[in-house]
């Protein structure tokens, strides 16, 4: 079933400096009065800055509907884990989201499916919305991708209680083989996989399926409701470009 809300998220990864992060967020906060669909909740926005910028970004978006979160959390709530950040602290600060399971975390930092499952459970235990990143490693058919990604979702939720599985969760799909590739995944592939994942999450009514690969203008329109939103990348580093996609989402929800 097509959701009535469109979700647009952005992770700055480590592209932005401190001042640049705050400048971007201030520009977006100032532009929200032009987006009534954001103000009334029909378009849902979340921003994932680097850890040192979370507190001021929370302050910038304090009187807006824009959600803020972390790009990572540690798989234990507390303890002697030098340099890590807990879900408990993110929640205490006022974060609503946390990114988990990105391909870069697996490739560069050795995270595995057990780590992802533990992080998802910790996030849900602290009432954070996991932005669970999934995607197939090798190029293949949509059917193969759906089966692979469904298994990743089931594994990620394997430690969550039945009650936690009813909490909001965002599934951010991006085929790993398309990351940095000269040719992105086809529109047909994206639409088919997102639809297959939505059907898989029918028993999780608070789940959203968003697409994260080469997400730019007109993609939402072309997907024709097969995805519940986008996880934006470098295209949206320009506030004007970001606002273009917010406008597109606003037009789409108004037509439903």
Catalytic residues: 102, 174
Nearest partner of 74 among 36, 102, 115, judged by Cα: 115
The CA distance from 172 to 165, in Å, is 16
Cβ(209)–Cβ(201) below 8 Å: yes
Report CA torsion sign: 55, 93, 63, 25.
positive
Classify 113 as helix, strand or coil: helix
Nearest partner of 256 among 232, 221, 230, 231, judged by Cα: 221
Helices (H), the chain: 18-31, 36-39, 54-60, 87-93, 103-109, 113-125, 142-156, 187-200, 219-223, 239-254
Tokens of 204: 């999780």
């Amino acid at each position: 079933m097509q959701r009535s809300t469109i979700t647009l998220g952005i992770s700055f990864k480590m592209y932005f400096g401190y001042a640049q992060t705050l400048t971007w967020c201030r520009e977006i906060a100032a532009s929200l009065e032009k987006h009534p669909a954001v103000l009334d909740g029909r378009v849902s926005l979340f921003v994932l800055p680097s850890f040192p910028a979370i507190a001021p970004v929370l302050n910038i978006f304090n009187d807006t509907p824009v959600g803020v979160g972390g790009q990572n959390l540690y798989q234990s709530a507390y303890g002697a884990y030098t340099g890590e950040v807990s879900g408990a602290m993110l929640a205490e600060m006022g974060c609503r989201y946390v990114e988990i399971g990105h391909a870069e975390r697996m490739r560069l930092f050795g995270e595995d499916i057990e780590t992802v499952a533990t992080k998802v459970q910790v996030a849900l235990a602290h009432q954070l919305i996991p932005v669970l990143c999934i995607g197939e490693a090798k190029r293949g058919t949509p059917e193969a991708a759906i089966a692979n990604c469904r298994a990743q979702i089931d594994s990620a939720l394997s430690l969550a209680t039945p009650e936690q599985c009813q909490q909001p969760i965002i599934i951010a799909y991006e085929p790993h083989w398309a990351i940095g590739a000269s040719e992105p995944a086809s529109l047909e592939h994206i639409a088919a996989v997102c639809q297959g994942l939505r059907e898989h999450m029918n028993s999780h009514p608070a789940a959203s399926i968003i697409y994260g690969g080469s997400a730019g203008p007109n993609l939402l329109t072309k997907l024709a409701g097969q995805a519940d939103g986008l996880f934006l990348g470098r295209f949206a580093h320009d506030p004007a470009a970001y606002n273009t996609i917010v406008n597109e989402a606003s037009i789409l929800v108004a037509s439903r």
